[in-house]
Each structure stands twice: as C-alpha cells, then as structure tokens.
Amino acid sequence: MKKQLVARIKMYGKSLFFTTSAILILNIAANAQAATTKTSDEEKAVITHLQSKDATSLFNVKYPNENGGKFSLVIKDETGAVLFSEVYDEKNFNKRFLFTDIDKDAKLRFTFSSLKNRTSQTFEISPVTRVIDDVVVTRL
C-alpha cells in the first residue's frame, strides 16, 4: 500500500512538473514575441534643424500619426530638463519649435509616446557644425 502511494505521488509530481514547465515556457515565448514589435520607416518622426543663430534654434517636427490616437511629445535637453511637453491627437503632426536661450551645441532629445498602446520613439539631435571656405583666386 505504501509503495503504491509513493508511486502515485511520483507520477503526479512528474506530470505536474512538466505541465508547469510547459506553461512557463509558453508564457515566456508569448511575452518575448509581444515585446519585439518594430516600427516601419513610415511611422517614424522626421525632425529637421532649420536654423541656429546665437542662442536660438528652430526645429521642424513631423510625426505621422496614422490612427489619430493621442500621443505626447516631450523635448528634453542633455541634462534631462524638460523644455517642452504636450499631448496631441493630430493625424499629420507638423509643427515648428523655436528654442531660445539654449546653447547652439546642446543635444536635444525628442520623445514621442503613444498613450493608447504605450509605445515610444526617442530621437537625440546632436548639432554638427561644418565650416566651408569658398575661395576664388582670379589673378596671381
């Protein structure tokens, strides 16, 4: 009687172990698949640095919001200080942002966050300065 009881416990214990393991593995695989969503190039924002004079910088920001859901735009400087934060629901977002009193070499971070499905895109803008000297020699 005791041997039969021990044999049943081992049998049920093994099946319980394998069932629990299978559920755990399937759950982990489902979570990994849900986390690897990719955004296409059509869904990405386009940020253009239009001009920079002394302490002002002008940026043109375009964001294709195909579904028209609410999204937030947060703009931070390189120290993490929030320069701008607003919630929008426009389908074809196209706005210009003029920043005064910031260093012309400062890095800015633009973060678009969808409020519906909790996805976000972050873009870091680093200014690049190029000096081009055009010299024309007419006579020697």
CATH of the domain at 85: 2.60.40.10
Looking at the predicted structure, is the pLDDT value of residue 35 above 50?
no
Structural domain for 70, as ranges:
41-125
Decide: pTM greater than 0.85: no
CB 60 within 8 A of CB 47: yes
Burial pattern 122-134, b for ≥16 Cβ within 10 A else e, equals eeebeeeeeeeee
Q: Give residue 132's pLDDT.
A: 75
In this structure, are 95 and 31 located in the same domain?
A: no
CB 39 within 8 A of CB 121: yes
The answer as to whether 138 is a domain residue is no
| Percent of the chain residues topping a pLDDT of 90 | 21
Dump pLDDT digits (tens) for 5-21: 556 666 665 665 555 55
In this structure, are 6 and 59 located in the same domain?
A: no
Q: Dihedrals φ, ψ of 67, to 5°?
A: -85, -10
In this structure, are 48 and 113 located in the same domain?
A: yes
Dump pLDDT digits (tens) for 115-137: 888 888 999 988 766 677 777 77
Q: Give residue 68's pLDDT.
A: 84
